[in-house]
A and B are shown apart, each in its own frame.
Chain A
C-alpha cells in the first residue's frame, strides 16, 4: 500500500531564511512524488514532481525538492523564504496506479 508521512504539523521560519518541509513515503515499485500547496479556501496547486532522473527537482515559486531513495524521503526546500510562502503544503505519492495519496499536510508560517 502507498503512504506518505509529513512529520511536522507546522514549520516556522523567518523571512529570508532557508526552509525545509519534510516528507517520507512508502510505495511498492517506483515512486512518483509530488508537492502541492494550498492557500485558504482554495484548491491545491501543483508545485513540482519527481518521476525519474536527477534527484534534485525544481518547481514553481523557487521551490525545489530532493529525492533520496535510501531514506525514502522527498523534502521540499527553498533557499530564501517569503512571507507569501505561508500556506499548507502537501506531499503526495503515486505507485503503480493512477491514485494519488496525500500526506496530512504541513503548515508553513514565514514571519517578517
Chain B
C-alpha cells in the first residue's frame, strides 16, 4: 500500500521567505510526527499530533515554526521568515496506534535549503 508521502521533495528558499511542507500520512494512521534532520545528525523531534490535536510541540525551535493537521489526516509544517539555520531535511512519520509500542513509518522527507 501507499506509504507516507511528503512534498515537495526539495525546496530552495531565500532567507526571509515563508515555506510550507506537506505530509500525507498512511490512511487511517492516528499519530503523526514531524522531525528535523540536520546534515550528519539524527532526527530531532519537532511536534506530534493525535488525529487533529497537537499534543506536543515542545521541539519546535521558534515561533516561526507552525504545524497543523486540521482534519486529522494531511499535515502542513510552515516556517515563516526562513533563516539559514532552518536548512535541513524535514521528516514526517505516522503510526497506526497511539501509545509507545507502534513503530513509526517515515516519508522520504523534504530537503529545505535556505540561501
Q: Is the CB of B106 within 8 A of A43?
A: yes
Contact between chains at B42 and A103 (CB < 8 Å): yes
> B residues 1-25 with Cβ under 8 Å of A?
4
Name the A residues within 8 Å of B107 (CB-CB). 43
Q: How far is the CB of A103 from chain B (nearest CB, A)?
A: 5
A-B interface contact total, Cβ < 8 Å:
60
Residues of B within 8 A of A96 (CB): 100
- CA of A104 to CA of B103, assembled, Å: 19
The distance in angstroms between the C-alpha atoms of A90 and B107, with both chains bound, is 16
Q: Is the CB of A100 within 8 A of B105?
A: no
Centre residue among A43, A46, A49, A90 by max chain B CB count within 10 A: A43
Main secondary structure of the interface of A (DSSP, over half): loop
Category for how many chain A residues contact B? 20 to 34
- A41: which B residues are within 8 A, CB to CB? 108
Q: Are A104 and B41 in contact (CB under 8 A)?
A: yes
The tally of residues in B whose CB lies under 8 Å from a CB in A reads 28
| Residues in B neighbouring A42, C-beta threshold 8 A | 108-109
Residues of B within 8 A of A99 (CB): 45, 48, 56, 59
Contact B42 A43 (CB under 8 A): no
Known: A43-B109, A98-B48, A99-B48. A34 touches B103 (CB 8 A): yes
A22 interfacial by beta-carbon distance below 8 Å: no
Which residues of the other chain, A, contact B55 by a CB distance below 8 angstroms? 98
Q: Nearest chain A CB to B34's CB is how many angstroms away?
A: 11
Least CB distance from B22 to A in Å reads: 15
| Interface residue from B31, B45, B48, B106 paired with A44 (Cβ < 8 Å) | B106
Q: Shortest Cβ distance from B59 into chain A, in angstroms?
A: 8
| Interface residues as binary, A35-47 with B (CB distance below 8 Å gives 1, 0 otherwise) | 0100001111110
The answer to the question of A63 belonging to the interface, with a C-beta cut-off of 8 Å to chain B, is no
Q: A43-B109, A44-B91 are in contact. Are A97 and B103 (CB under 8 A)?
A: no
In the complex, the 3 A-B pairs of residues with the closest C-beta atoms, listed nearest first: A43-B106, A102-B42, A46-B103
Q: With a CB–CB cut-off of 8 A, which chain A residues contact B109?
A: 42-43
